[in-house]
Amino acid sequence: MSSALPTPQVGLVPRRRDLSVRDWQMPLPESGTWRVRGPAGSGVTSLLIDTVVQQVKGGVDPSGILVVASSKETGGRIRRELTDRLSETGFASASSLVRSVHSLAFALLRASSEEPVRLITGAEQDAVIRELLAGQAADGRGGWSAEHRPALNFVGFARQLRDFLLRSVERGLSPEDLEGLGRQYNLPVWTAAGGFLREYEQTMALSGAASYTSYSASELVTAALSRPIESAWHTIVVDDAQHLDPKSAELISELIPSAKLVVIGGDPEQSIFHFRGASSAFLRQFPADQEIQLSTSRRQPDRRAVVVDSRTTQLALIADTARRAHLLEGVAWSDIAVVVRSVGQIAAVRRSLLAAGVPVHLNPTDVVLSEQRIVANLLLGIRALTEELSASELNDLLLGPIGGADPVTLRRLIRGLRRFDPETRGIDTLRTLLDTEVQLPDFGEKITAREEQILLRIRGVLESGHKALAAGGSVEETLWAVWSATGLADHLLAASLRGGVTGSQADRDLDAMMSLFDAAGDFVERRPTGSIHGFLSHITDQELPTGVRDRRSAVPDAVTLVTAHGTVGSQWGTVIVVGVQEGEWPSLGETGSLFEQETLVDLIDDGILPGVPVSHTADRLREERRLFHVATSRATDTLLVTAVHAPDADEVTEPSRFLDEFCRQYSVQKENYAPDPGAPKGEYTPLRVRVLSVPSLLAELRTTVCNPQARSDERDQAARQLARLAIAGVPGADPEQWWTTTNPSVMEPLKGAEALSPSRIEGLLACPLREVLKRLIEEEQTPAALTRGSLAHAYLEAIGRGVDKQQAAELTMAAFVDIQNDPQWRAAAEQEKFSTLLERTSRWVEESRSSFTQAGVEMDLDVEVIGGVRIRGRMDRLEKDQAGEHWVVDLKTGATAISQKATDEHAQLAAYQLALSRGAFNGEKITDPKPGQEPLTVGGGVLVYPGSTTKKISTREQARRSPEQLAEFATHLPGLAAELRSATLTARVNDSCDRCPVRNLCPVQPEGKTTIHA
C-alpha cells in the first residue's frame, strides 16, 4: 500500500552571484561631499556600492575606504556584493571595508586603548541590570522612591530602566548629569537612575578583574568620542543614514573632514528606529556639496489586500500563498518573506507555516538562547553532572534531544524498573542508575532492548561529562564532551541538508548550539576559573535575544519570518505582510513612560523643558506609517497584505487605517471576505482557503466523507479521490489508517444510567468528541478563577435561603481574598470587581421580585424525559411568575452577554424547560410526577449577567417552548446518551471548530493528522 520513502540527493552548490551591470543616468561621485536620497527600492544602496567599486577599480587604495552600514545584517549583504563585484580585481584591504557604526566605534576604541576592549551583548547587560536591581531591592539601597521600590524585581522595570540608560548614554550623559537633571527638574526617578548608572559602571569596571574593559553597544560610541580620533579613511560611504542616533552621527562627522570623498545615503521616509534614539536629522542636515535624488522605485510588485473573518483563515491564507508561490510559480523558499508587526506574533505564524509543510527561518537574534529547546535540554544535562535533578527535570532530560526517548518508551522503562525493584519508585530507581559509578544490573525480561538502549544512551552522555570534569576540563570542554556524546551534530547536519520543514528546524537548532558554544568560549575567556554553576546562571539569567556571530555563507532555503523592523535593507520576490490590525498597527503606546524617557530625549535633542505639554501621538503615528511603508516596499514581484475583521468575535478586531491608505495609494481593490458594515445584516461570503498541501487535501476529503450533512455526490467524489490517493501510497488516505476505522481494543459500552446534565447537552449536540475530551484537558484557568464563579453561586444561594445580605457578602469576599493569586498591583482591582458582581447579583434578586416569586434555590433535578433517558442536574434558582408559570434562572459570571438569537437556541435552557415540563415538586427536588400529580407549567428561562459592564444588569430570556418544540428537542437526547456510553465518539464539524481545544486530536481536522498512526 505504501511506497518507499525517497532518498534525498544532497550536494553543495556555489552561491549565486548577481553581477548585472547597472545603468545610472548620472555620473557616480568621485570626490567631494554627496547626499543620495531616494524611496525604497530606488537603488540608493546599489549606487553606493557601485561608487565604491568605481573607486577601487580606479586605483584607489581599498584600505582607505570605509562603508558604514546600519546593522551587521545589512553590512553583511553589502560586503558580499562588494566581494562579488571586486573578486576579479584581486583587491586587498588592511581591514574590513564594511562596518556597522558600532563595529567602527569598537575598532577606533581598540586602536586608541591600551587595555583590551570587549563588547557585551544586550542580553548580558539586561542580566546584570536585573541582578543589581535585585540587590538594591534586597538591601534597601538606591535612590528609588517608595512607589518605585516594589517594582525593582519586575522584568518590565528592568527593561524600561535599560532603555532609559541606553538613550542617556547615546546622548553622552554621565551619572552626574542624570542626577543633576533629576534635581533640576524635580524628577526623582532620573536622579535614582543616575545613581544606578554609577553603580552599574563601577560593577562593569570591576567585573573583568582589570583584564579588559566591557562596553555595551551604546557605550562604545560615547567612549570612542571621548578619545582623540585619527581617521585613516579617504573615502567614507554611509548607507541608511536615517537610522543613526545623534552620537553615531557625531562620530561619523568627526571622520569626514579628512576624507576626499564622502557619500551619505538614505531615505527619511524609512526612519523607523526613533524608539532606539535614531533620527533622520543627520541625513537631512548634512552639508553636502552635491545631491543625487533617485525618484522612482524599481520594485513594482503585483499588490493584493485581503480581509478575512478570522485569524485561522488568515494563517491558512498565508501558508497557501507561500506554498503556491513555491510549487506553482517556482519561487525559491528563500525568496519568500512573511512580515509581522511584532515579535509576539511570530510563534503563531511559525506554527501555522510548519504545519502546512513550509520551511521557516528565523533570525537567531530574535530568540532567547535559553528558551531554545535543544539548549535548555543540554543545559539540563550539564546540571545533572553536579546536582540532582527533580523528577520533572529528569523526565524533561530524557524526553528531550539529549535523552532521545519518546513518552511511551519512557513510561514503559519506568514501569519496568518498578517491576525490577517494587520497593522503590521507578523514577527514583532510574535516577540511581544514571550514576555512572553504579554498574547496571541484569534486568532479565523486566525491560526491553529499546528501553535499555535509552538508559545506556543517557548514561553515556553523562559519563562523558563526568570524565571531562574529572580531567579538570573547562566549561567549554565539558560542554563539548556532553554534546559530542549525544551524536546530535551529524543527525542535525543531515536533516539540515535535506531541507524542508525538518531541515529548517535543524538549522535553528544548529544556530542555537553555535551561539551556546560562542557564549561558553566568551565565558571561559573572561572567567578562566568559572564554574559550571556560574555558566548555567549566566545563560539562564539572560531574558533578551542573544546576539550571535554570523557565520553563514549561504542563505537557508526557507521562508523568512521576520518583524517589520527586521526587514530593513532586505528584499524578496514574494512578501506577505500579516495582521494589519487597528491597535496593533499602528501601535501608539508610549515608550519608557515609567522613566519619562521621551521627556529626556525632547530635553536633550530639542531643548523642550520637562513640564511643557508635548503630544507624541502624531509623531508615533507618522513613524508607524513609515514602518508600514518599509514592510510593504520589500517585494519585487508579489505583495500580499492581510487583515482580520471580526466584529462579533470574543476579541473584536478590525483592519488598520493603513490598509485603506495602502489601497488608495496603489489603486488596489480590497478583497473583503469579512462582515461589511454597509451590507444588509452584515452578510458576506467567507473565504474558503484550500491550502496546497497533501495533509490539507486529505483533511478536506476526509471531512467531506465523514460529514453526514454533505451532498451525496460530494461524498462520493471525495471517496473516489481518497481511493486514488490510497492506491498511490499516500499516507493517511487509506481509511485503515484512520482512528475512526481502526479496531479499538474494547468495544463494550460503558455502564451507567442514561442521564444527561443540561450543561452538557449543548456541547454534545455540537460535537460529542469535543464535549467528552475537553474535560480531560488541564484547565487553563487558575483555581482562583474557577472558584470565583462557585463563590458567586454560593452567595446567590445564601441570600436565597434568607442569609443576611451584608454578612453573606462579607463571608464571600473573605473567601475570595483567601483564594486570590493575583499580583499585588491587580489584587485590589479584582476585589472591587468581585464586590461589584456580588452587589449586582443581590440587586437583580431585589429588582426581579416585582415579576417573580422564589420557588427554590440550588434545586436538584432528576426527571425522565423520553424512553428511559433522564435529565439530571441542579438549577441556580427556580422562579414563579404572576401567572403561576415556572422560570429557570441561570447565573452567568462572565462580562459579556450572548445575543438574543443565541439565547433562543440555548440548549441548556431548553433542557431545563423540557425537564420542568415533565417533572413536579417532590420536597425540595424536581423529580418524576407521582401518580395523579400534574407536571409543572413552564414560562421560560432567564440568563442573568451581573458581571456585565452595562448600567442595567443584562439578562437574556428564552421564551416558553411549545409542547411540539420540546418533544422534537427530546428526540435528540437518546442518541446523546448513547454517545456517552459508546466505545466511539462522533467528531462533528461545527461553527466552533476553529476554537476547539482538542483540534489536534480531531480526525476531521488538519491538525489531527498526528493521531492517524497512533
Annotated binding site for ATP: 38-45
What type of residue is 467? Answer: K
Report the half-sphere exposure of 725 (CA within 13 A, side-chain side). 20
List CB contacts of 18: < 8 A, sequence separation 6 or more.
81, 84
Cα–Cα distance between 226 and 229 in angstroms, integer? 9
Phi, psi (rounded to 5 degrees) for 60: -75, 145
Q: Residue 873 forms beta bridges with which residues?
A: 861
**Binding residue positions:** 38-45
Cα–Cα distance between 762 and 757 in angstroms, integer? 10
* Grid cell at residue 175: 551619572
Q: For residues 930 and 922, is the Cβ–Cβ distance under 8 A?
A: yes
Q: For residues 307 and 674, is the Cβ–Cβ distance under 8 A?
A: yes
Phi, psi (rounded to 5 degrees) for 639: -130, 125
Tell me whether residue 665 is exposed, middle or buried, using C-beta atoms within 10 angstroms of its C-beta: 0 to 12, 13 to 18, 19 or more: exposed
Q: For residues 958 and 890, is the Cβ–Cβ distance under 8 A?
A: no
The phi-psi region of residue 219 (left if phi > 0; otherwise alpha if psi is between -120 and 50; otherwise beta) is alpha
Report the SS3 class of residue 588: coil
What type of residue is 388? Answer: E
CA 68, 74, 79, 81 dihedral sign is negative
What's the angle, vertex CA 706, arms to CA 702 and CA 709, rounded to 5? 125
Q: For residues 901 and 955, is the Cβ–Cβ distance under 8 A?
A: no
Cα–Cα distance between 773 and 769 in angstroms, integer? 6
**How is residue 726 annotated by DSSP?**
H
Q: In what order do the strands lie in the sheet with 98-100?
A: 98-100, 65-69, 235-238, 261-266, 32-37, 290-293
* Grid cell at residue 97: 571595508
What type of residue is 521? Answer: G
Q: For residues 767 and 986, is the Cβ–Cβ distance under 8 A?
A: yes
**How is residue 245 annotated by DSSP?**
-
What type of residue is 878? Answer: L
Report the half-sphere exposure of 915 (CA within 13 A, side-chain side). 33
**Count of CB atoms within 10 A of residue 588's CB?**
13
Cα–Cα distance between 362 and 346 in angstroms, integer? 9
Closest C-alpha among 181, 214, 113 to residue 522: 214
Q: For residues 750 and 980, is the Cβ–Cβ distance under 8 A?
A: yes
Q: For residues 252 and 238, is the Cβ–Cβ distance under 8 A?
A: yes
- Cα–Cα distances (Å) from 855 to 63, 398, 524, 808, 911, in that order, read 94, 59, 77, 20, 19
Provide DSSP, 951-995.
Answer: SSPEEEEEEPPPHHHHHHHHTTHHHHHHHHHSSS------TTGGG
Report the SS3 class of residue 409: helix
- Cα–Cα distances (Å) from 451 to 365, 381, 414, 427, 443, in that order, read 38, 19, 9, 14, 11
Cα–Cα distance between 562 and 360 in angstroms, integer? 10
